[in-house]
Amino acid sequence: MIEYFRKNLVQSVLLFVLFAFFNLAVFVGFTVYLAWSESSETYEERLSFDTIEDSLAGTGLNANELEEELKRRGHFYLLIASDGSIISSAALPEELNTHYTLSDVASFSRWYLKGYPVNTKILGSGELLVYGFPKDKVVKYALTFPTTGFVQTLIFFPLLLVVNFLFFLFLFLRRQKNTQKEVRPVLEGIQGLGSKDFSPLDETGNFLDLKRALNKTDKILKQKEADRRDWIGGISHDVRTPLSVISASCELIKNEELSRRIRLNVLKIKNLVDSLNLQNKLNYGISPGKTETYRLSSVLRESAVGFINENDLGSCELKLIVEPELESFKTALDPYLFGRLLNNLLNNGLVHNPDGTVITVRLYNDHGPVLSVLNPIDGSSRSGTGVGLALVEKIAKYHGWESQIIRDGRFEVRIILTSP
């Protein structure tokens, strides 16, 4: 984890430095481009200072030709003496035909001459040669920009900001996607630790230490679960034989009440061990049977008859009621698990209720099919492990059903069923 965050920090710093240099290079390049751009005819068609000097020296254009060239371009020039007076000029706007002080010269040399952008050059004789452009055609700020270039600048830099934003957004989304790709199997691994759904994580890339720890933890949990499963399975196997001997020996006891009490306790222990064993299998996603679509009334009757044949009801009675409209109701179920569910509920009634109790099993319709096992007396407050009811809830959940317990002086368990 520490290595992952260190790597991210280094990458972020390098990206920031790289992007800063990129923006600086773009800014400098665009500034130079504007300064030397040929996109403005007004600026690029200016006469050179050499052309004007040659004309003043009488070796180039004569005065009329020079003035015509300047007027055609909308430009002008003036030559200012060291005392601020104008020595000569051509195409000079009337408002500029005046005397200039040193402060005037200092101002327009850097900025504008009464709103006119100008370039200046000091000649060898000490005079100041001023070359001027029309107003609102050239922008002057440290470097001389054509007006079109300045407008391009106003458009370019917002676009550059947008490009910056989109680039960083792309990096953010890409980093987020990569992080999610790395984190997703880790989160799924945490949720599936110790279960059959867990797949060993690839111990490469980011979160390497965490992946190794999860793989190791999963092996430990699965080993503990396997040990627990083997332990419960071993107990279940080892207990069956002595229970069978005890149950058979009850036939030799002449006291029927004592014999029945022994058989009930044997039954209680047997169901407890079987329930633990089955619950352990369901916890690990192992089903002893196969889920198919059955007519519930038939499976219910078979399970009830099987319970009566395998258990001594004594003076207790089992009453089975199936409403006619649900005789043909079908649902997906595992017959073995359903039999265990009913067996646990009925056994709970035998163990926790007095002789003569009538346990009612009813399949009826209440906004949908409902299976109810009703004990007229709530004897569940007596001592017990609660494993039987826990298994009932787990079997119901395995089938996608809902289990409810109602206590109102009586004890009723309802299973809300669903169609396939």
**Strands lying side by side in the sheet with 358-365:** 317-322, 358-365, 369-375, 411-416, 402-407
- In SS3 terms, the chain reads as CHHHHHHHHHHHHHHHHHHHHHHHHHHHHHHHHHHCCCCCHHHHCCCCHHHHHHHHHCCCCCHHHHHHHHHHHCCEEEEECCCCCEEEEECCCHHHCCCCCHHHHHHHHHCEECCEEEEEEECCCCCEEEEECCCCCEEEECEEEEHHHHHHHHHHHHHHHHHHHHHHHHHHHHHHHHHHHHHHHHHHHHHCCCCCCCCCCCCCCCCHHHHHHHHHHHHHHHHHHHHHHHHHHHHHHHHHHHHHHHHHHHHHCCCHHHHHHHHHHHHHHHHHHHHHHHHHHHHCCCCCCCCEEEEHHHHHHHHHHHHHHHCCCCCCEEEEEECHHHCCCEEEECHHHHHHHHHHHHHHHHHHCCCCCEEEEEEEECCCEEEEEEECCCCCCCCCCCHHHHHHHHHHHHCCCEEEEEECCCEEEEEECCCC
Position 38 scores a pLDDT of 45
CA gap 370, 343 in Å, rounded: 17
CA gap 26, 41 in Å, rounded: 25
Position 299 scores a pLDDT of 93
* 116 in Cβ contact with 135 (< 8 Å): yes
Position 300 scores a pLDDT of 93
* 124 in Cβ contact with 5 (< 8 Å): no
What class does CATH assign to 193-286?
mainly alpha
Q: Provide the CB-side half-sphere exposure for 256 (13 A, CA).
A: 3
Position 287 scores a pLDDT of 61
What class does CATH assign to 41-136?
alpha beta
* 152 in Cβ contact with 34 (< 8 Å): yes
Q: Where are the domains of the chain?
A: 41-136, 193-286, 289-416
Position 311 scores a pLDDT of 75
Position 39 scores a pLDDT of 41
CA gap 296, 302 in Å, rounded: 10
Q: Which residues fall within 8 angstroms of residue 396, CB to CB, at 6 or more apart? A: 341, 402, 403, 415
Which tokens is 253 given?
């006891």
- Nearest CA among 358, 387, 54 for reference residue 236: 387
CA gap 305, 107 in Å, rounded: 114
| Tens place of pLDDT per residue across the chain (420 aa) | 555 556 666 777 777 777 777 777 777 777 666 655 544 555 667 788 889 988 888 888 898 999 999 999 889 999 999 889 999 999 999 999 889 998 888 888 888 899 899 999 999 888 999 999 988 777 776 555 566 666 666 677 778 778 877 887 887 788 778 777 777 777 777 777 766 677 777 777 777 777 788 888 888 877 777 776 666 666 666 676 676 777 667 766 766 667 767 776 777 677 677 767 676 666 666 666 678 899 999 999 999 998 888 777 777 888 999 999 999 999 998 888 898 889 888 888 877 777 778 889 999 998 889 999 988 876 655 444 466 788 888 888 888 899 998 888 888 899 998 755
CA gap 193, 208 in Å, rounded: 17
Q: For 289-416, which CATH superfamily applies?
A: Histidine kinase-like ATPase, C-terminal domain (3.30.565.10)
Q: Which residues fall within 8 angstroms of residue 361, CB to CB, at 6 or more apart? A: 300, 304, 318, 319, 320, 321, 342, 346, 371, 372, 373, 374
What is the residue type of 242? Answer: P
Position 281 scores a pLDDT of 67
